[in-house]
Structure 1
Amino acid sequence: MNAVTPAPEIDWDVLQDAARKAMSHAYVPYSRYPVGAAALTDDGRIVSGCNIENASYGLTLCAECSMISQLNMTGGGRLVAFTCVDGEGEILMPCGRCRQLLYEFRAPGMKLLTVSGIRTMDEVLPDAFGPQHLEGQAGK
């Protein structure tokens, strides 16, 4: 029988501090709207990211995108808890695109610190489309 590894304890203050630190590295010469993101992984690591703009706005990377890149570059895993902040260090709600990205890399029961308090991924992206919908679809 496999032992179930307990989820790491969520220290929201530490996550917010990590998001604020990440935000300080944002490259935002066009919007002047820095964003930082941070998440706790299922193995206890904290990953973070910031937004990186480009003169071609469509090529801009959201903070969540750079955070997921860090997740994959540092060993992968699943996200247990997430938060993001604006240039004033205040909590932001991730946009729809980023909610989809977070959904893809979430652990079961993932929690988000939002402007409305702590919410589950299912609450911020109900009835989400995900990898489970594509199983068995390769080659069709």
Structure 2
Amino acid sequence: MSTVVRVLLVEDNEVYRSTLELLLNGRDGLEIIGSIAAGDEAAAAAQALDPDVVLMDFRLPGLDGAHATTAVLAASPRAAVICLTAEATEADRAAVLAAGAATLVEKGSPIDDLVSAITSASHREGQEP
């Protein structure tokens, strides 16, 4: 029996977000349950949709990864947050992990690495499988 991991995408680049949706929805065990462009809507969307994983751009207009992670986890504590980044300093990485993100994944990583990160994050301690 396989469990479906419910994923909320938060990415302001429409082309990248649409591409992720297409690639991830085609994978067994993953379901994109929501896709939004604005970081300031992420917490409300997470609360309403109850995702297993929130896959969120690190740099969103008006909101950085650490603040967005804190807001999402406050609204949906059961969710795991994975931040996507094209570039992040070590201080950025430390801040987002301290805020509670499960991990950061480089935007240029192979899709299999991203799928693996999503699956791993969905099974972290405190998560339902």
Q: TM-score range by the shorter chain?
A: 0.3 to 0.5
Question: Which structure has the higher relative contact order (CA within 8 Å, separation 6+)?
Answer: 2
TM-score, normalisation: structure 2: 0.36
Could you tell me the TM-score, scaled by structure 1's length?
0.35
